[in-house]
């Protein structure tokens, strides 16, 4: 008979001190207990949705005969990870993004591993399971690879030139991209903007703590040109949808979502024959260009809302063309040649 071990949350309990119950939890009951606890802790809705999705993907793969959470073993988890690495089709649920190859990226697999680790650690600490199958599971290793790259200048020009300003949706998307390139906002932060968050006089945007990833309010400067476009966009959306609307709305008066914007970028990517295009690339492009234009990395860290300067450094990815440009501009050899009158 499988038994439930109850102990103080977060504390190791010796086998002699554990209270044992005959209660068994189904998969759904265990997940519900986990979600209730995380909701009580104040975890945001988006994070809870992420946990739901991670567990849903896991459930879809599991054998239908496995119904109780205690039936999950470390071997079950390892088999699932191998499935994700070699058999799972990326974006299988999204026809527009579905890929022909097999195997998810290491980054995606590790996100799912971290989610399952959080789930099963909670279940074990709360006594819902007597054994934590994730205890000895490590994240998948990968060869060193470049972080999300920024967009080359030619691609940025092509993207902006592709929009038809006479059409509201395209003019709105272009305004959104220009905003991202000017501020480095996360796509969720940009799409949540309301009129009271934009200070058109002081040329700044406030990201409230309820939206910010670090739960700390911050103010970001914006260029005068961007403020002008946002003012025009706000006037038009308020005219059609009322004063309570957000800046970025779809043609039906609904909030523009990040998924909808990603789908629109995917269509644009195919149209312009660009290998990769998604919202976060504009944030990385801003970070790279900010430094190339003379901005200091510590100010950039504040703007991007990074807790660690090392994270900010990873965002500043420069391709060979930018490296050559910076070398030609700042090489100390030129001053040496000038001082010594060396002819070349």
Catalytic residues: 186, 213, 280, 283, 306, 315
> How many other CB atoms are there within 10 angstroms of residue 223's CB atom?
14
- What b-and-e string marks burial along 54-79, b requiring 16 or more CB atoms within 10 Å of the CB? bbebbeeebeeeeeebbbbeeebbee
Helix (H) or strand (E) holding 207: strand 204-207
State how far the Cα of 104 lies from the Cα of 97, in Å rounded to an integer.
13
CA distance linking residue 281 with residue 155, whole number of Å:
12
Cα 97 to Cα 266: distance, rounded to the nearest angstrom: 8
Longest Cα pair distance anywhere in the chain, in angstroms?
89
Contact 290, 184 (CB under 8 A): yes
| Nearest-angstrom CA–CA distance, 116 and 59 | 12
How much is the CA Rg of the chain, to the nearest whole Å? 25
């Amino acid at each position: 008979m499988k038994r439930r071990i109850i102990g103080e949350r977060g504390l190791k309990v010796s086998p002699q001190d554990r209270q044992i119950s005959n209660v068994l939890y189904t998969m759904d009951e265990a997940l519900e207990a986990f979600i209730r606890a995380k909701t009580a802790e104040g975890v945001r809705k988006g994070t809870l949705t992420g946990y739901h999705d991670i567990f849903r993907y896991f459930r879809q793969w599991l054998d239908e005969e496995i119904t109780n959470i205690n039936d999950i073993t470390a071997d079950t988890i390892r088999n699932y990870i191998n499935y994700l690495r070699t058999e799972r089709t990326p974006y299988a649920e999204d026809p527009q993004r579905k890929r022909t190859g097999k195997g998810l990226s290491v980054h995606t697999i590790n996100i799912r591993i971290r989610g399952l680790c959080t789930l099963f650690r909670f279940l074990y600490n709360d006594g819902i399971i007597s054994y934590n199958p994730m205890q000895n599971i490590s994240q998948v290793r990968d060869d060193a690879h470049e972080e999300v790259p920024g967009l080359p200048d030619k691609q940025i020009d092509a993207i902006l030139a592709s929009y038809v300003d006479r059409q509201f949706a395209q003019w709105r998307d272009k305004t959104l991209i220009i905003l991202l390139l000017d501020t480095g906002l996360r796509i969720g932060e940009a799409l949540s903007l309301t009129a009271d968050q934009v200070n058109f006089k002081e040329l700044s945007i406030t990201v409230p703590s309820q939206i910010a990833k670090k739960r700390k309010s911050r103010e970001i400067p914006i260029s005068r040109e961007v403020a002008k476009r946002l003012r025009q966009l706000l006037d038009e959306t308020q005219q059609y949808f009322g004063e309570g609307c957000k800046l970025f709305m779809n043609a039906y008066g609904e909030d523009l979502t990040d998924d909808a914007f990603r789908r629109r970028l995917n269509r644009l990517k195919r149209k312009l024959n660009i290998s990769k295009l998604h919202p976060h690339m504009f944030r990385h492009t801003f970070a790279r260009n900010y430094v190339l234009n003379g901005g200091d990395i510590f100010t950039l860290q504040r703007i991007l809302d990074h807790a660690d300067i090392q994270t900010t450094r990873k965002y500043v990815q420069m391709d060979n063309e930018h490296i050559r440009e910076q070398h030609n501009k700042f090489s100390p050899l030129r001053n040496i040649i000038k001082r010594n009158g060396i002819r070349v």
